[in-house]
Structure 1
Amino acid sequence: MNDTPGWASPGSAPSDGQQPGTPGASAPDDRPDDAPRPAAPTEQPGTDPQGPGSKWSKEQPPPAQWSAPTGPQDPAQTPPPPPPGPGWGNQPPGGPSGGQGGWGTPGGPGGGYGGTGGPGGGYGGAWGTGWGGPPPAAKPGVIPLRPLGVGEILDGAVSTMRTYWRTVLGISLTVAVLTEIIVILVQGLFLNDYADTSALEDPSATFSELASAMGSALLGSGVVFVISLVGTVIATALLTTVTSRAVLGRPVTTGEAWRDARPQVLKLFGLIILLMLIAVGVTLVGILPGLLIALAGGSTAGAALAVLGGLSAAIVALWLMIRFSLASPALMLEKQGIRKALARSAKLVRGSWWRVFGIQLLAAIIANIVAAIVVIPFTFLAAALSGDGVGSFLDGTGDFGWTFLIISGIGSVIGSMITLPITAGVTVLLYIDQRIRREALDLELSRAAGVQHPAPGTTPGS
């Protein structure tokens, strides 16, 4: 190919077929390619390059405009950056911060890959400049519709009691009054006459006397605990409807809660009895070998084995009670039978036993502290008005008569009225939280509440 001098750049290599030193050939030039070169005519020496016989254009660009292709380009000719990807917002333009991609802040001294950092470089930093994070979860009621933390479960129970206080306190007050009346009657008519625990304070008491006194104390405490447990579970069942409506932000009256819970009440009592039989059966299996050995004559070995078996049985019973602790809300909300409710609770608790145990233990500690703050003043007042005085009450020698039982029962009613909604609400919200984590119940709740829920995986959990 033969280049015409009019199309060749000044200082370019000679055309094909020409050798250096021949007429019309350019002398070798060792200057850089991007340096401006003088225009050398290819005609005969002495001719004017601007003459009529020259093929060079009279208007040549100034040398300053000639540059290598790799030099800086005109900003007006720079191609526009590609549009940002979905969800990441506007990415800051690259600057002298270094790195690959120019994601850093313009002019910042950050380095690293992509210049993703601000001053100081590194990853992170400018990645979030155009992305505001995931959208918040919908919250039509007392909790956000996403996996809940411990504080959110406790706050949801308290918010339910505060928002629907007429319904919640009405239910808890009714259950607390009925429960305390039964406890007072049982203690006043039966336990005070048959319970004899004086041997526990006698250093010279025999083993049989100590065993009898301990059995009487355990019997009294057990009866009170069972009655209180029944009241707690009933309150949980009645408050389940209130809490489930509170999650959706819908009010509910006491009559509506009772109409919703009434078809499941008999099944609920069956569930309570079954759970108590399980706990008692496990405890008897644990202490029975020790009792048999003690009755056969080995009192010391039998007592030690009974204590060890009792502790082991208590651990097993606790594990089973936590495993089936969500059966009551499952039975009430899903309208299922007893066996299916137990299976649902076991499925929801599987893999989260320690979490469920910790939350319920924390709720129980908080409830007991609140109850103690309310009950203790009434207990001292009852001891002062019962005739034996506070000193005999502290010594354990006072007679727990009807005056003491009634006044202390009033304090127990007030304490239960406050604590029952907390424990019941925590159980129901814990059930809802476990279903959100395992079955995406938050999507169903969002549709039921008529709110738009973010896409799965975009909201944080705990």
Structure 2
Amino acid sequence: MIPLRPLSLGDIITGSFATIRGHWKTLAGVALAVQAVVLPVMALVVGIAVVSVRSHFAPVFHPPFGEDPAPEHVVPLVVAAVVVFALLMAVGVLGMAVIAALCPAVLKEAVTGRPTTFRALWRASVRRAPAVAGAMFLSGLIAASPVFAVLAVWLPLVFSAGHGESSLALLGILPLLMLAAAPAAVWLGIRFGLAPAVVVMEGAGPVTALRRSTALVRGEWWRIFGYTVVSVMLAGAISYATQIPFNLVGSFAMMPALNGLPEHGALSAGAVASLVLALVLLFLGGAAGQVFQIGFSHLASAMLYVDQRIRREGLAEAILTDLAAAPAPPAPTGPAPAATGPQRPEGDGQS
């Protein structure tokens, strides 16, 4: 699927498509399995939080006329919101990390042409998902550090300025400061962008993966940046185009449920069936879009990792050497088959 030579942009795009085409069942199956686990867990987290602080909703959102909500009601809601946000982020990052770990694992087998199974790739992606999540979290945190630095300087200035023209001027300066921080954030993001592939391909830890990504990107930042931008834009376009049919059919399927919604009472059986069908279609569309949006981007990133190792570390020669040194299949055992047909006698004088 992937030529063992320095890769061009066309090779990376066609190789990513070829990998998806050859392993689409595995990619789609893992994406559906991740959503089937992540979505119920998220719903459970939100449900537990709502039940825990349900008694504080009315005093905060509907306080007596002319009174402010009491702190004993506001604080539990704020704490619950922070905890839910952190848990949802952790669950979402872990789910995304499983898919991010699957793509290099698939590519690792595609580079050498070795067949694999869904179970083996699923186990490999789940096993490396925590390390991939750690690498993604650290790289995102470091890439966002210029933005955090801007906010760390800007927020105290705004609070100290209070109300007035100076405060409005500081609000107008914030977009300019963010624009100034954006190039540094992009530079750091590309610098550490190969870390998830390093985690899966080399079995490295998050910190080691960040260092390896830095070493592989050094001197090739602009080329990797250009290839990454094209890959992300292409993945977004394909993801959007993939979801359009599912969203259209799901919207049409939801219309009978909306039209049959009574003012009082339960939905009819037909309306419930239409609503379930619409939700299933939207779920499938989201899963298909996720395969391309996340899968294609991480496959392209893993292809860039392979390309950099081919260019700098002789990966192609190492792979060919390993394949050439692979043991030959064992010869069949047992008695030799009997010869068929007339045998030519020795020394018949013919050559």
Task: Tell whether the structures are fold-level matches, with TM greater than 0.5.
Answer: yes
Give deviations 1:250-306, integer Å, cap 9, x for gaps: 111122224444553332232233233334443221133332222232322211222
Residue 317, structure 1, aligned to residue 182, structure 2: no
- The match for 1:423 is 297
**Number of matched residues?**
272
Cα separation, 2, equivalents of 1:347 and 1:422: 24
2:33 pairs with one of 169, 174, 178: 174
**Deviation digits for residues 38-94 of structure 1, max 9, x if unmatched?**
xxxxxxxxxxxxxxxxxxxxxxxxxxxxxxxxxxxxxxxxxxxxxxxxxxxxxxxxx
Alignment correspondent of 1:346: 214
Backbone CA RMSD of aligned residues: 3.7
Distance 1:312 1:407, change over 3 A: farther
Q: Shift of residue 235 of structure 1?
A: 1.1
Structure with the bigger percentage of helix = 2
- Alignment match of 1:435 (pick from 309, 315, 320): 309
* 1:332 pairs with one of 200, 219, 232: 200
Deviations 1:293-324 (A, max 9, x none): 22232322211222222223333222111111
- The reply to whether residue 242 of structure 1 matches residue 106 of structure 2 is yes
Which structure 2 residues correspond to residues 16-415 of structure 1 after superposition, within 5 A? 142-179=1-38, 231-296=95-160, 297=162, 298-380=166-248, 385=254, 408-415=282-289
What is the alpha-carbon distance in structure 2 between the residues aligned to residue 184 and residue 438 of structure 1?
A: 47
8 A Cα contact 2:105 2:124, kept in partner:
yes
Q: Is the 8 A contact 1:290 1:304 kept in 2?
A: no
- Alpha-carbon offset, residue 169 of structure 1: 2.9
Contact 1:157 1:421 in 2 (8 A): no
Residues 182 and 153 of structure 1: CA distance in aligned 2, closer, same or farther (over 3 Å): farther
Instruction: Give the conservation status (yes or no) of the 8 Å contact 1:239–1:424.
Output: yes
Letter in 2 for 1:346: T
In structure 2, the residue matched to 1:448 is 322
Q: Give the alignment's TM-score, normalised by structure 1.
A: 0.51
Q: Are the equivalent residues in 1 in contact too, given 2:93–2:133 (CA < 8 A)?
A: no
> Which residue in the other structure is 1:125 paired with?
none
Q: Percent identity?
A: 31
Structure 1 residues 188 and 237: alpha-carbon distance in aligned structure 2, compared to 1, 3 A threshold:
same
Kept in 2, the 8 Å contact 1:183–1:224? The answer is yes
Deviations 1:85-142 (A, max 9, x none): xxxxxxxxxxxxxxxxxxxxxxxxxxxxxxxxxxxxxxxxxxxxxxxxxxxxxxxxx1
Distance of 1:379 and 1:301 partners within structure 2: 43
- Residue 232 of structure 1 and its aligned partner are, at CA, apart by 4.0
From the superposition, tell whether residues 226 and 305 of structure 1 become closer, same or farther in structure 2 (CA, over 3 Å).
farther
CA separation of 1:143 and 1:377: change in aligned 2, threshold 3 A: closer
Determine the C-alpha separation between the residues in 2 that align with 1:406 and 1:280. 36
SS of alignment partner, residue 193 of structure 2: coil
What is the CA deviation profile of residues 353-408 of structure 1, one whole-angstrom value per residue up to 9, with x for unaligned ones?
A: 1211221211111111111112234445555637789xxxxxxxxxxxx9887754
Give the whole-Å Cα distance in 2 for the aligned partners of 1:151 and 1:428.
15
Higher RCO structure (Cα 8 Å, ≥6 apart):
2
What CA distance in whole angstroms lies between the structure 1 residues aligned with 2:169 and 2:242? 43
Amino acid at match of 1:332: V
Distance 1:188 1:282 in 2: 36
Residues 260 and 372 (structure 1 numbering): CA distance in 2 closer, same or farther, change over 3 Å? closer
Counterparts of 2:135 and 2:298, CA distance in 1: 16
Q: Secondary structure at the match of 1:145?
A: coil
Q: State the alpha-carbon separation in 1 of the partners of residues 41 and 182 from structure 2.
A: 26
Tell me the CA shift for residue 225 of structure 1: 9.1
Q: Does the aligned pair in 1 maintain the 2:196–2:209 contact within 8 Å?
A: yes
CA shift at 1:222, angstroms?
A: 12
Q: CA deviation at 1:449?
A: 2.5
The answer (yes or no) to whether the contact 1:169–1:417 under 8 Å persists in 2 is yes
2:34 partner amino acid:
V
Letter in 2 for 1:428: A
* Structure-2 separation of matches of 1:278 and 1:405: 38
Q: In structure 1, give the amino acid aligned to 2:285.
A: G
Give the direction of change, closer, same or farther, for the CA distance of 1:186–1:413 in structure 2 (3 Å limit): farther
Task: Write the letter of the residue equivalent to 2:98.
Answer: I
> Which residue of 1 is the match for residue 66 of structure 2?
none
- Counterpart amino acid of residue 15 in structure 2: G
- Distance in 2 (CA, whole Å) between partners of 1:182 and 1:370 is 28
SS at match of 2:102: helix
Shift in alpha-carbon separation, 1:450–1:372, aligned structure 2, 3 A: same
1:378–1:160 CA distance, 2 compared to 1 (3 A): closer
Please state whether the residue corresponding to 1:421 is helix, strand or coil.
Answer: helix
Mapped partners of 1:354, 1:227: distance in 2: 33
Q: Distance in 1 between matches of 2:135 and 2:243?
A: 30
C-alpha deviations, 1:396-448, integer Å up to 9, x for none? xxxxxx98877544421122134443222211111000111111111111112
Give the whole-Å Cα distance in 2 for the aligned partners of 1:448 and 1:344: 23
Which stretches in structure 2 are left out of the alignment for 5+ residues? 51-56, 58-84, 260-274, 326-351
TM value normalised by structure 2: 0.65
Change (3 A) 1:421 1:148: same
Q: What is the DSSP-based 3-state SS (H/G/I as helix, E as strand, rest coil) of the residue aligned with 2:115?
A: coil
State the alpha-carbon separation in 2 of the partners of residues 307 and 388 from structure 1.
42
Deviates more, 1:434-443 or 1:330-339: 330-339
